[in-house]
Every structure is written in C-alpha cells, then in structure tokens.
C-alpha cells in the first residue's frame, strides 16, 4: 500500500505537503513509512486480530494474558511514535500533514475499532488525531472508517 501511495502522489502531482519535494522533509516521511511496518502496523494489527478477528473466526476469546501482551507491545510503539516522530510538532513532518500522518492514523484506527481507545490517555496523540482528521475532512475520515468501526457487530 505504501508503494501505491507513493506512485499516486507522483503520478497525480498532489500538493507538495503529502510527499514533500524538500529532501529533508521527504526523508522524514520515508523514515516513518519504513518504521511503521514493524511497529505501529504490526502491533496495531496484532491487537486488532487478537481482540476481534480471531475470536470471530474461532468463537473463542483470546486468553487475557495474550491480549495484555499485545496491548503492551502497542503501547511501547505508541510511546516511540510520540517521542520520535510527533515530538512537539503538529504533524510528523512539521506544520503540514503528509502521507506519514495519514498512514499512521489509518493504522491506529484498527485497535480503536477493536475497542482499545489508545487516544484516551494520550493528549498529544489525541490532538494530533484531531488535526489529521480536520486536514483530511472529518466526514471523509469517518466514511473511510465506517465499515471497520462496525466490525464488532458481525
């Protein structure tokens, strides 16, 4: 999906903030996109699979200790994300939204859809989410997540 996003950004000449032409800003986007595969994506997906999909497929809930371990792994990645990538900036690259922010928030919505409100006790993350949703458009963002937000109703 990252390769497709990069292709689309270049093919359709999207606004520069999505994938900046400035090499230092672009390097920050690339750094996050490379890091997130083994961190936010892996840990968020693991929690989603453990809490929603596996019980749905097997009819059995995951043992609490395994669920707790998956949650703790995600919490470590979230702390790294806040400290390394967000720091004190409005967005990952700085003052404007980029593909890094979009990919990050989409990945973080999986655990949220599984019932883990990871934004609740993280004010920095919560404010960042608000800014990303506003930049994308709140209605569009909610439309994009409508199906996955209702997955627990299956």
Kindly list the domain boundaries of the chain, sorted by start residue: 30-150
Query: What tokens does 133 get?
Result: 């949703």
Q: Is 3 helix (H, G, I), strand (E, B) or coil?
A: helix
| pLDDT at 148 (0 to 100) | 76
Question: pTM for this structure?
Answer: 0.91
Mean pLDDT, rounded, for 25-40: 97
> Of the given ranges (28-32, 35-39, 55-59, 146-150), which has the lowest mean pLDDT?
146-150
Of residues 81 and 57, more confidently modeled: 81
pLDDT greater at residue 62 or residue 85: 85
pLDDT of residue 154: 55
Give buried/exposed letters for 20-29 (b at 16+ CB in 10 A, else e). beeeebbebb
Quick one: average pLDDT of 57-68? Answer: 90
Quote the pLDDT of residue 74.
Answer: 97
91 pLDDT more than 60: yes
Higher-confidence residue of 62 and 40: namely 40
56: left (phi over 0), alpha (psi -120 to 50) or beta: alpha
What is the dotted CATH code of the domain comprising 30-150? 1.20.1050.10
Confidence of residue 137 (pLDDT cuts 50, 70, 90): very high
């Amino acid at each position: 999906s990252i390769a497709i996003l990069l292709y689309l950004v270049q093919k359709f000449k999207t606004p520069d903030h999505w994938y900046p032409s400035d090499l230092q800003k672009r390097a920050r986007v690339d750094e996050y996109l490379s890091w997130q595969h083994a961190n936010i994506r892996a840990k968020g997906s693991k929690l989603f699979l453990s809490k929603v999909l596996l019980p749905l497929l097997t009819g059995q809930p995951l043992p609490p200790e395994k669920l707790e371990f998956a949650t703790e792994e995600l919490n470590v990645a979230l702390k790294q994300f806040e400290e390394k990538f967000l720091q004190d900036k409005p967005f990952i690259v700085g003052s404007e939204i980029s593909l890094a922010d979009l990919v990050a928030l989409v990945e973080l919505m999986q655990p949220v859809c599984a019932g883990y409100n990871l934004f609740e006790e993280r004010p920095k993350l919560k404010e960042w989410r608000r800014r990303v949703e506003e930049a994308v458009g709140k209605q569009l963002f909610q439309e994009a997540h409508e199906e996955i937000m209702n997955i627990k109703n299956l």
